[in-house]
Amino acid sequence: MSKRKDCCSFCGRDDIQLFEGINGAYICPECIERGHQIILEENAKRDKAAGKATGNDFSLNNLPKPQQIKEFLDQYVIGQDEAKRYLSVAVYNHYKRLALAQGVDVPAEAKAYKDVEIEKSNIIMVGPTGTGKTLIARTIARMLTVPFTIVDATVITEAGYVGEDVESILTRLYQEADCDLKKTERGIVFIDEIDKIARKSDNPSITRDVSGEGVQQALLKLLEGSVVNVPPKGGRKHPEQEFVHINTQNILFICGGAFDGIEKKIAQRLNTQVVGFEASQQAKAIDKDNLLQYIAPQDLKAFGLIPEIIGRLPILTYLKPLDRASLRSILTEPKNAITRQYQKLLAMDGVQLTFEPEALDYIVDKAIEYKLGARGLRSLTETVMMDLMYEIPTRHISEFTVTRVLAEEKISRADTDRLRNAV
């Protein structure tokens, strides 16, 4: 970089500060700014041609409808129809709120309600581990035309303590939007493991609940909608940076959590028991194998969420525990099915891999025994395939079949090794 008083190689000006390039070329600050603006405009045109929403352009005409969103989710997520319907409608309504805010593509019928302000409906999803909460969020992010990010609530603490501040949630979204403020302010955030910030105890204590109720209090302003000062590079490590002012009024928040043990809270409210004799005729009509379907906001409060944050998450839905048929389908039917992934990996080595139906049934039976949901399927299939993935590429074979006998041998050997290591 140089300050020589030569003329600009682009506009010819010679009375301002110049910056030296290669081969004796010089450029002035105005030409740098003009060139940057041209690049932004070209990128916006390219994104628009590719069907992506830009910071200054938003249209309802090409947005997927709720049924189309659910159909896309069905290709990757088995079951959970109710949760997918809730999420599809919420995302589409979020789009419509944005259209009204920007005044684009608003039909004449809607203009008659110009004095009506539509509030955003944040969502909270409750479901056991391995039922697809995070998978639904990751899948829906593939087809969105707004910035989407997934953050983990377990690392968030109150300001001033070791961990991340709640503003780091918006920092992630800002970075996903390529540091475009307008795109950030119409994005969607999925907060995973929301149950991990539940209030630890109802009893007052001399110690602060820095990763529980304190985090919930800090999240209130984000969920409801306010202007938040956000460090674009993530706060504490760069204290000298200027803050970005992000308005969360049009940012949709989706929360998910396992809420392990909340069935006991539901059972108490329903005046029944998770185990034991049925106390009344009303108890007989309750499906005790799936108490989550009866979940209500008061159960979240009993679990440890404060009433203020429950009120800012008005849509409450649940994910059903996966039954045997669903687990069997997850192994083979989705586009990202576990068995298909291994078939593709070995196909790159010229090997055609097949699974006997009996082998898949055995894996499903063991997954039900371990009670880990779809994650159990993944770990069991990894156990069966690990030695094969190591040996097959050097065996110079063209096809291989995974049998039930092989699956039983690999899984039983792994269980024995774990017991031996535990002892």
Give me the residue spans of the domains in the chain. 1-50, 66-318, 324-422
Residue 167 · residue 235 · CB < 8 Å? yes
- Judged by DSSP in three states, 76 sits in coil
Which whole number is the average pLDDT over 85-109? 80
Burial of 325 from C-beta contacts in 10 A (0-12 / 13-18 / 19+): exposed
Q: What local confidence, expressed as pLDDT, does residue 420 receive?
A: 45
The Cα–Cα gap between 101 and 119 comes to 11
Q: Considering the chain, what is the average pLDDT of its residues?
A: 81
pLDDT at 6 over 50: yes
Q: What local confidence, expressed as pLDDT, does residue 137 receive?
A: 85
Q: What local confidence, expressed as pLDDT, does residue 283 receive?
A: 55
pLDDT at 54 over 50: no
pLDDT at 282 over 60: no
**Per-residue b or e along 99-117, where b marks 16 or more CB atoms closer than 10 Å to that residue's CB:** bbebeebeeeeeeeeeeee
Q: What local confidence, expressed as pLDDT, does residue 125 receive?
A: 92
Q: What local confidence, expressed as pLDDT, does residue 254 receive?
A: 92
Q: What local confidence, expressed as pLDDT, does residue 423 receive?
A: 36
Residue 252 — φ and ψ, nearest 5°?
Answer: -90, 130
Q: What local confidence, expressed as pLDDT, does residue 134 receive?
A: 85
Which whole number is the average pLDDT over 34-40? 83
The Cα–Cα gap between 92 and 43 comes to 26
Q: Between 108 and 184, where is the model more confident?
A: 184
Q: What is the dihedral of CA 224, 225, 226, 230, to 10 degrees?
A: 100
Residue 253 — φ and ψ, nearest 5°?
Answer: -110, 130
pLDDT at 58 over 60: no
Q: What is the pLDDT of residues 345-372, one digit of tens each?
A: 999 999 999 999 999 999 999 988 887 7
Q: What is the pLDDT of residues 10-23, one digit of tens each?
A: 888 776 778 877 77
Q: What local confidence, expressed as pLDDT, does residue 189 receive?
A: 92
Q: What is the DSSP string of 224-254?
A: H--EEEE-TT-GGG-TTSPPEEEEGGG-EEE
Q: What local confidence, expressed as pLDDT, does residue 138 receive?
A: 83
Residue 106 · residue 99 · CB < 8 Å? yes
Q: What is the CATH number of domain 324-422?
A: 1.10.8.60
pLDDT at 154 over 80: yes
Q: What is the pLDDT of residues 295-320, one digit of tens each?
A: 999 999 999 899 999 999 999 999 98
Q: Between 81 and 419, where is the model more confident?
A: 81
Is-same-fold flag (66-318; 324-422)? Answer: no
- The residues facing 254 across adjacent strands are 123, 190
Q: What local confidence, expressed as pLDDT, does residue 211 receive?
A: 65
Q: What is the CATH number of domain 66-318?
A: 3.40.50.300
Q: What is the pLDDT of residues 184-233, one digit of tens each?
A: 888 889 999 898 888 766 555 545 666 678 888 888 888 988 888 888 77
